[in-house]
Structure 1
């Protein structure tokens, strides 16, 4: 009976850990607006993203100038934009620009901001208002508005709608924290119920190894769906989105690798504890 109880508690712990790891990662880096902005700022250090944003900013500056009766030299504007995306202030402003994309996904405020267009937008006004760019535009008497949004996806090609992921923002913190706490509780219960503590520790290590390996496999399967979503974007924004997804993938892989490493350590500790326990037993 004790063995059955221990196995049951171990299984529950494994399931809870499988929930806790991805939900904690998602809450910290995706659902949280600050976490998402921080990840965007980190991705902005990527040279490919910087080049894509320089091209997108060039396109927007030329279009904005043309609407106001000015014709600019593309190469000159691109050079200024590339210099801006390569400077130290770009990551922070890129993160600020991405906050509107996050609000689009996770809150109702984005729907109120964007009316009935239903588009996923990124606000590039903070970048265009950077002193290094604004000085160039100011010489042309161009007044950049406080908000200048660029569409990332269009309604006809995506199932996403403003605020559709709001439920994740509401329940995500509760699920992630609850799963983490319950994982710890059931792990302790497993150790308490087990007759051989060393073997129980090793079994918990196996749980972490299973979760880490399953996470890697699961993401490889999910990557196909992510690529389908990315294919609904075009041009330079497609490149920007691809870099951000790759950066998020690297972050998740780090969490999974830590889970695998922790599992390996627990297995070793459990085996050592079991061996020491065996030596203490009277022959």
Structure 2
């Protein structure tokens, strides 16, 4: 009976771990606004992302000001700005606004009928300030649509409901994993063997998340496929950065599973002696 109960609890723990790992990562790094902003700030150090934002700043200023402002001067200012220490935090703030658009429930008709846009206004002003061009007057907000065709469905509040479900699954599955794993170890006759099996289960969960990150990467890029070239480049880099972060977490968790497996084997050998 103890063996059966232990095996059942191990199975529950493994299934719970498979669910908990990606859902907890999504809760902490994507659904949580501060976590998403922090990840975006880290991505802002990517040179390709900086180049794309710089190009977009130049294009927007050229469209607004025309020949009144030399393109070479604006480009120099934009390049200097995206390479500065100010840019990552500014970029994180801008991207966090888009997070609110997707994850907060829309309250107005304008929000429901609008499209996802990256607000570059503060970044353009900051770039102009670095070149002592603060006297240039910008006519309102400068935004770049990330869902111009609206075919991808990136509407306001798109992830509001599902984010709540993922958060619930994350905490429930994490609690189930901890309780089932401890329960399995308590009732098991061969705790070393049980620990090694749990370790293998954690490795499986890490592998599933690692593979899943590739699928999520591709699916997320489809969501922004209608965006303009520079905006899509920025979005793609953010998505790649997020997927890489999930793979890194999965790798660390997998290493933890291997350690648990080895400790379990060692414990089993010691127990036999």
* TM-score normalised by the chain length of structure 1: 0.89
Q: In the aligned structure 2, how far is the partner of 1:130 from the partner of 1:221?
A: 37
Unaligned runs of 5+ in 2: none
Contact 2:77 2:131 in 1 (8 A): no
Contact 2:224 2:232 in 1 (8 A): yes
Deviations 1:153-210 (A, max 9, x none): 1243212211021114434433322221221111001111211000011011011111
Q: Does structure 1 retain, via aligned residues, the 8 Å contact 2:101–2:156?
A: yes
2:207 corresponds to? 213
Partners of 2:111 and 2:200 lie apart in 1 by 50
Residues 1:97 and 2:91 aligned together: no
- Within 5 Å, which residues of 2 pair with 1:85-234? 85-109=82-106, 112=108, 114-130=110-126, 132-133=128-129, 136-140=132-136, 142-143=137-138, 145=140, 147-234=141-228
Match of 1:138, SS? coil
Counterpart Cα distance in 1 of 2:110 and 2:250: 37
Shift, 1:105, TM fit? 0.7
Aligned residues: 273
How far, CA to CA, are the matches of 2:222 and 2:117 in structure 1? 19
> Is the 1:137–1:143 contact (alpha carbons within 8 Å) kept by the matching residues of 2?
no
CA RMSD of aligned residues (A): 2.1
Distance (Å, rounded) in 2 between the aligned partners of 1:135 and 1:92: 19
Alpha carbons of 1:220 and 1:139: their partners in 2 closer, same or farther (altered >3 Å)? closer
| Cα distance in 2 for residues equivalent to 1:254 and 1:276 | 33
Deviates more, 1:184-193 or 1:227-236: 227-236
Q: Matches of 2:56 and 2:109 in 1, distance apart?
A: 22
Measured against aligned partners, the alpha-carbon deviations of 1:13-39 in whole angstroms (never above 9, x if no partner) come to 011111111111111111011111111
**Distance change >3 Å, CA 250–CA 221, structure 1 → 2:** closer
Secondary structure of 2:108's aligned partner: helix
1:236 to 220, 230, 236: 230
Shift of 1:108: 2.5
1:12 and 2:6 aligned: no
Q: Is the 8 A contact 1:124 1:149 kept in 2?
A: yes
Following superposition of structure 1 onto structure 2, how do residues 242-281 of structure 1 map, counting pairs within 5 Å?
A: 242-279=236-273
Contact 1:118–1:155 (Cα < 8 Å) also in 2: no
The residue that corresponds to 2:57 in the other structure is: 57
The answer to whether the 8 Å contact 2:199/2:256 transfers is yes
8 Å contact kept, 2:213–2:247? no
